[in-house]
Structure formats: C-alpha cells, structure tokens
C-alpha cells in the first residue's frame, strides 16, 4: 500500500492496482470530493459483512433482494465510535428457518473480528 497526498486534504491510497481516495468535509478544510477515512472504515466493515451474507444467499439459492445498513453510535465527548448497529434488511417472505444462520454468517466478517468496537447485528423484515 502506498499513501500519497494529492492537494488540500485529499489522500490517495494505492492498493494493488486500485486507487482509493479520501477527502475531508468542507467544514474541516477539505473539498468533499471523496469519502472520509472513517466512511471507508465503515464501508469496509459493511462490505465485509455483505460478502458473507451474499455468499450465504447464493449457497442456499435464496433471493438476493437483501441489503445491509450501518449506523455508527458516536461517543461525542471522546469523538470515537462506541458501537456500530448493522441491520440486515430482508424481504417479508424471507424463509424464517434461515434468519438465525444469516445473522451468524454476518458476524464472521474478518474486518469486524479485527476491531474492538462492539457491533450489533440484527434483522429487519421490509414490507
């Protein structure tokens, strides 16, 4: 990985053959042209859980009309994330026999296992 500075508050991370950009919001002196590093951290956690969920859906030939949302719970006084609430949104007709297993596979995310932030995973049936 190579990290370079690309003007103002822009940072470029070269990972293998990919460039990942970050920036800061305008109220922190940035140009808001890319996600912040904390956004990428949360995206990494969410996409990791998402891969495990998607693999489970494919393995059991289940519909893939499922999605995840993440909400960080901030400790404003220390400006850190105390916990992350992950919700797996499933359709109303999702087979109940797979619900518990779906939660369990989402918890296998390697990113989440490397950080000490509590992350709560739950299901929500969408209409």
Taking Cα atoms as reference points, which of 49, 38, 39, 44 lies closest to residue 15? 44
* Distance of alpha carbon 27 from alpha carbon 64, whole angstroms: 38
Question: Which pTM was predicted?
Answer: 0.84
Domain boundaries defined on the chain: 1-34, 37-126
* Per-residue pLDDT tens digits of the chain, which is 127 residues long: 999 999 999 999 999 999 999 999 999 999 999 999 999 999 999 999 999 999 999 999 999 999 999 999 999 888 888 888 999 999 999 999 999 999 999 988 888 878 766 667 778 888 7
Chain length of the chain: 127
> For the packed helices 99-106 and 37-59, what is the interaxial angle rounded to 10 degrees?
140
Topology given in CATH for the domain delimited by 37-126: GMP Synthetase; Chain A, domain 3 (3.30.300)
């Amino acid at each position: 990985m190579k990290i370079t500075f690309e003007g103002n508050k822009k940072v470029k991370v070269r990972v293998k053959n990919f460039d990942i950009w970050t920036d800061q919001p305008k109220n922190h002196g940035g140009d808001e042209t890319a996600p912040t590093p904390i956004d990428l951290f949360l995206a990494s956690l969410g996409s990791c859980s998402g891969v495990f969920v998607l693999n489970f859906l494919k393995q059991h030939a289940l519909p893939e009309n499922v999605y995840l949302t993440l909400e960080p719970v901030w400790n404003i006084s220390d400006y850190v994330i105390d916990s992350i609430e992950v919700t797996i949104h499933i359709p109303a007709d999702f087979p109940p026999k797979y619900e518990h297993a779906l939660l369990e596979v989402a918890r296998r995310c390697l990113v989440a296992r490397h950080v000490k932030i509590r992350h709560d995973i739950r299901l929500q049936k969408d209409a």
